[in-house]
Amino acid sequence: MARRLALDPKSPDPKGVAEAAAVIRRGGLVILPTDTAYGLAGDPKDPAVVKRILTIKERTQKAGMPVLAANLNQARQIATLPPVAEKLAQHFWPGPLTLIVPARRGFPEGVLGPGNTVAVRVPNHLVAVHIIRDVGFAVTGTSANRSGAASPRTAEEAESQLGPEVDLVVDGGPTLHSADSTILNCTVYPLQVVRAGAVPEAALQPWLGVG
């Protein structure tokens, strides 16, 4: 079973944050909290890491893999945000809205969705944000569960599924939301809600007809 590290969601200990970030930078996998679900964080640029995640989750590569950034600038390093996506990000981030946008040239295929796109968001959870910021680049953000299983809302739920197969489990308390992030495709017009989630569609209505 992986080591468990508890971090205060309101004031994460810098030493713990640095420990988790170091694991990711050296090619390890960390279960970490977000505002919606516990995620499986690793280096999306490392094919071995991506392959390991797919094996652990028992899923194929076809669907792509969501990515978590510490802030909007970090998201821009991996993706090209159309004007409407920029506005959505500024309005809803940090928060439970994942945006499907064009990936920048050279971004690894293992996390790409159809049409060279990437699904990215900034989570509203200080533990996750501090760790990702310390890592220095966006990390994988797929939920820490087997494919088809329920998304974990606590460290215990994530650990019970994937604990023996990761390098570190970060416990930041229960998630803020009981639903996964809403996924919005910003590469089509009108914008398309791919997955309903923590951001209600009513809140997105003003944006859905915007090109």
Question: What contacts 93, CB < 8 A, 6 or more positions away?
Answer: 72, 121, 122, 124
What are the DSSP calls for 141-180, one per residue?
Answer: -EESS-TTSPPPSSHHHHHHHHGGGSSEEEE--S-S-SSP
Distance in angstroms (rounded) separating the CA atoms of residues 160 and 33: 15
Give, for all 211 residues of the chain, the pLDDT tens digit: 789 999 999 999 999 999 999 999 999 999 999 999 999 999 999 999 999 999 999 876 667 899 999 999 999 999 999 999 999 999 999 999 999 999 998 877 779 998 899 999 999 999 999 999 999 999 999 999 998 899 999 999 999 999 899 999 999 999 999 999 999 999 999 999 999 999 999 999 988 876 5
pLDDT at 61: 62
Domains and CATH numbers, the chain: 3-208 (3.90.870.10)
Distance in angstroms (rounded) separating the CA atoms of residues 49 and 186: 27
Nearest CA-CA partner of 119 in 136, 96, 135, 151:
96
pLDDT at 211: 56
